[in-house]
Copies of this chain bind each other. A is one copy, B any other.
Amino acid sequence: MEKQTVTIYDVAREAGVSMATVSRVVNGNPNVKPATRKKVLDVIDRLDYRPNAVARGLASKKTTTVGVIIPDVTNIYFASLARGIDDIAMMYKYNIILTNSDENSGKEVQVLNTLLAKQVDGVIFMGNNVSPELKAEFDRSRTPIVLAGSVDPTNTQPSVSIDYKAAVHEGVARMLKRGYKRVAFVSGPLDQPINSEYRLAGYKDALADAGIDYDEQLVFETDYSYQAGYDLQEALTAVDATAAFVGDDELAAGVMNGMNDAGISVPEQFEILTSNDTKLTEIVRPKMSSITQPLYDIGAVAMRLLTKLMNNEPVENKNVLLPYGFVKRGSTNSNEV
């Protein structure tokens, strides 16, 4: 007794109208006489009719779903962006197909293709490295794709992020101004442009401004995990670093705890400035000073931008930079400013 699914045809028959009319009322088309509309609505209600979105997608060539490629949902930074994305998506009646990529280029390409095969109306990509193959896929796709919290050095893809280079530049400059000479730069993989071409570049700029020579020994390249940061303590003290700019909060929490556990107290003996201002910065002790960035908004704005692109609305600026700032918390000393 498999309950038969009720189709638009059933509704039409019951209501004594054509399916075109039913379709119209379902889609809020105004060209329907109020009386007719009510009649149809009643039948829909009675039959508990639910339009089949797949059929609708086939016929209209719109699925009202967008794909979201995320490195790892478990990473609070990306999860925060994802939340912004989903909220706005919902607001515009879109759903999100979420897939983890682990920043694996092959997987990213593959996932993008299945997303496109599913006819998503658009996609939002989060990831710190747009590989050439991926870039190629982006280019040949007619589906709008926007980057969120990520950068593509070629600046050819719509994106929403902050000015990473300037932010790091300013953040490091502040530490330098406070007298720290040995400020380490610890980040994720340097083959990711966001780390090499933006953050590291900003770091170098700050150094240059302060007239300090760039010392490669102070640059630490690791993965984004807490443990990786934690394990950095020895190496950090070995090169006499007395402060560090860290490219990720979880990573930063790791180096902070690693230092503290080794008896090098933060911030007294070692300052730390982290990058993402996730809630982790508040939970950890001492709390971490950080570059601030509107995480939720990056996602939200990216999604909003995507809606415009999907509707072929004109977009003034395809590469939006949201404002960043700084919060001074416990992992940094309170000298001037």
Chain A residues in the interface with B (C-beta under 8 A): 2-3, 50-55, 57-58, 63, 65, 68, 72-74, 76, 79-80, 82-83, 86-87, 90, 95-100, 113-119, 142, 226, 250, 253-254, 257, 260, 279-280, 282-285
User: Given known contacts A86-B100, A260-B285, A284-B285, what 5 new A-B pairs fall within 8 Å (CB)?
Assistant: A53-B118, A68-B98, A90-B99, A97-B98, A226-B279
Interface pair A118/B54, CB less than 8 Å apart:
yes
Tell which of B52, B86, B282, B283 touches A98, judged by Cβ atoms closer than 8 Å.
Answer: B86
Q: Please, which residues of chain B bring their CB within 8 A of the CB of A86?
A: 73, 98-100
CB pairs A–B below 8 angstroms (5 shown): A51-B117, A72-B83, A86-B98, A95-B115, A284-B285
Q: Please, which residues of chain B bring their CB within 8 A of the CB of A58?
A: 52, 54-55, 58
Tell which of B51, B54, B72, B114 touches A57, judged by Cβ atoms closer than 8 Å.
Answer: B54
Closest to A67 in B: B95
Q: Please, which residues of chain B bring their CB within 8 A of the CB of A87?
A: 100
Expressed in whole angstroms, the minimum distance between the Cβ of A51 and any Cβ of chain B is 6
Bound: A87/B104 CA distance, A: 14
Most chain B beta-carbon neighbours within 10 Å: one of A57, A96, A100: A57
Q: Please, which residues of chain B bring their CB within 8 A of the CB of A284?
A: 283-285
Most chain B beta-carbon neighbours within 10 Å: one of A82, A95, A97: A95
Interface pair A226/B117, CB less than 8 Å apart:
no
Q: Please, which residues of chain B bring their CB within 8 A of the CB of A142?
A: 2-3
Bound: A226/B76 CA distance, A: 14
Q: Please, which residues of chain B bring their CB within 8 A of the CB of A74?
A: 76, 79-80, 82-83
Closest to A115 in B: B95
Closest to A48 in B: B140
Interface pair A65/B98, CB less than 8 Å apart:
no
| Given A73-B73, A74-B76, A285-B260: A52 touches B117 (CB 8 Å cut-off) | yes
Interface pair A119/B283, CB less than 8 Å apart:
no
Among all A-B residue pairs, the 5 with the closest Cβ atoms: A98-B98, A53-B118, A54-B57, A53-B117, A54-B119
Interface pair A53/B260, CB less than 8 Å apart:
no
Bound: A279/B278 CA distance, A: 14
Interface pair B253/A97, CB less than 8 Å apart:
no
| Given A142-B3, A283-B257: A100 touches B118 (CB 8 Å cut-off) | no
Interface pair B83/A50, CB less than 8 Å apart:
no
Q: Please, which residues of chain B bring their CB within 8 A of the CB of A63?
A: 54
Closest to A280 in B: B283
Expressed in whole angstroms, the minimum distance between the Cβ of A97 and any Cβ of chain B is 5
Q: Please, which residues of chain B bring their CB within 8 A of the CB of A257?
A: 283, 285
Expressed in whole angstroms, the minimum distance between the Cβ of A145 and any Cβ of chain B is 16
Interface pair A282/B226, CB less than 8 Å apart:
yes
Q: Please, which residues of chain B bring their CB within 8 A of the CB of A97?
A: 65, 95-98
Interface pair A82/B73, CB less than 8 Å apart:
yes
Q: Please, which residues of chain B bring their CB within 8 A of the CB of A283?
A: 226, 250, 253-254, 257, 280, 283-284
Expressed in whole angstroms, the minimum distance between the Cβ of A249 and any Cβ of chain B is 10
Expressed in whole angstroms, the minimum distance between the Cβ of A136 and any Cβ of chain B is 12
Q: Please, which residues of chain B bring their CB within 8 A of the CB of A282?
A: 226
Bound: A253/B76 CA distance, A: 16
